[in-house]
């Protein structure tokens, strides 16, 4: 059985009932989806408008020379189903904004992973999650980082040393619930050179795996409290 090793650690039946939305499936989101699929999450919805580019190969799990030019959500859907054929996978090959919100929220979700790059999309997604009372975890900046030990989960209101988090805190200050959401971020400070965001293979992936672990542990806690 695919999930027999995980079943040693927790009751996996509840994982099959969960519906998870992941917005952005690049360096962070791709690894988050990978972990969720390998844990047996029953329903995964992925949103991304982009195609695989050769510059993605250094950090994105779906980026191979054989996938360059292909839709990221199409490549990832194929990978999810190859891992877990029983997973219900829905894809949206689009940008997340006000125009696509109703389309994407065509069903209920138990969890949302915000792995998108756009500040405006992040703000909109966080507000939508709070409005709909859906649990959400958001990724802050993974670029220009090298030290995995500096990565942690913290409430947005308590973050430091992260420019993206600082801007989000300011933009969302009118809604205190938004400031309470958990985020994955790094306290590492590095000098930024140029306008292109530098990245590596391990920091974005750890961000994504950390986000997936947050969800799985929350489900595990839910099972424990029920029993």
Q: How far apart are CA 202 and CA 5, in angstroms?
A: 25
Q: How far is CA 42 from the centre of its chain?
A: 16
Q: How far apart are CA 180 and CA 171, in angstroms?
A: 14
The larger pLDDT score, comparing residue 1 to residue 224, is at 1
Helix, strand counts (H, E) of the chain: 8, 7
Residue 227 has pLDDT above 60, yes or no: no
Residue 63 has pLDDT above 90, yes or no: yes
Helix ranges (DSSP H) in 8-71: 29-38
- At 13, is the pLDDT very low, low, confident or very high (cuts 50, 70, 90)? very high
* CB neighbour list of residue 59: distance below 8 Å, 6 or more residues apart: 26, 27, 199, 200, 201, 204, 205
Residues 28-61 have pLDDT tens digits of: 999 999 999 999 999 999 999 999 999 999 999 9
Q: How far apart are CA 79 and CA 87, in angstroms?
A: 11
- Buried b or exposed e, range 178-188, using 16+ CB within 10 angstroms: bbebbbbbbeb
Residue 222 has pLDDT above 80, yes or no: no
Q: How far apart are CA 140 and CA 165, in angstroms?
A: 6
Q: What is the pLDDT of residue 137?
A: 98
Q: What is the pLDDT of residue 23?
A: 98
Q: How far apart are CA 104 and CA 168, in angstroms?
A: 22
Q: What is the pLDDT of residue 221?
A: 87
Neighbours of 165 (CB within 10 A): 20
Residues 169-212 have pLDDT tens digits of: 999 999 999 999 999 999 998 777 778 889 999 999 999 999 99
Residues 157-171 have pLDDT tens digits of: 999 999 999 999 999
The larger pLDDT score, comparing residue 11 to residue 25, is at 25
With pLDDT > 90 as the criterion, what percentage of the chain qualifies? 91
Q: Considering only CA atoms, which of 65, 67, 30, 70 is closest in space to residue 47? A: 30
């Amino acid at each position: 059985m695919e999930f027999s090793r995980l079943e040693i650690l927790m009751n996996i039946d509840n994982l099959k009932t969960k519906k998870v939305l992941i917005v952005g499936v690049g360096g962070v989101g791709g690894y988050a989806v990978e972990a969720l699929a390998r844990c047996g999450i029953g329903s995964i919805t992925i949103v991304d408008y982009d195609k695989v580019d050769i510059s993605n190969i250094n950090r994105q799990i779906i980026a191979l020379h054989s996938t360059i030019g292909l839709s990221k959500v199409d490549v990832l859907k194929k990978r999810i189903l190859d891992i877990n054929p029983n997973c219900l996978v829905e894809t949206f090959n689009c940008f997340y904004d006000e125009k696509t919100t109703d389309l994407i929220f065509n069903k209920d979700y138990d969890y949302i992973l915000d792995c998108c790059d756009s500040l405006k999309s992040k703000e909109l997604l966080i507000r939508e999650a709070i409005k709909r009372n859906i649990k959400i975890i958001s990724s802050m900046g993974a670029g220009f980082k090298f030290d995995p030990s500096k990565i942690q989960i913290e409430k947005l209101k308590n973050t430091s040393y992260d420019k993206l988090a600082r801007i989000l805190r300011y933009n969302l200050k009118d809604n205190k619930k938004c400031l309470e959401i958990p985020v994955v971020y790094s306290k590492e400070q590095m000098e930024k050179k140029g306008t292109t965001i530098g990245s590596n293979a391990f920091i974005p992936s750890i961000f994504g795996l950390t986000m997936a672990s947050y969800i799985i542990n929350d489900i595990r806690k839910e099972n424990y409290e029920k029993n």
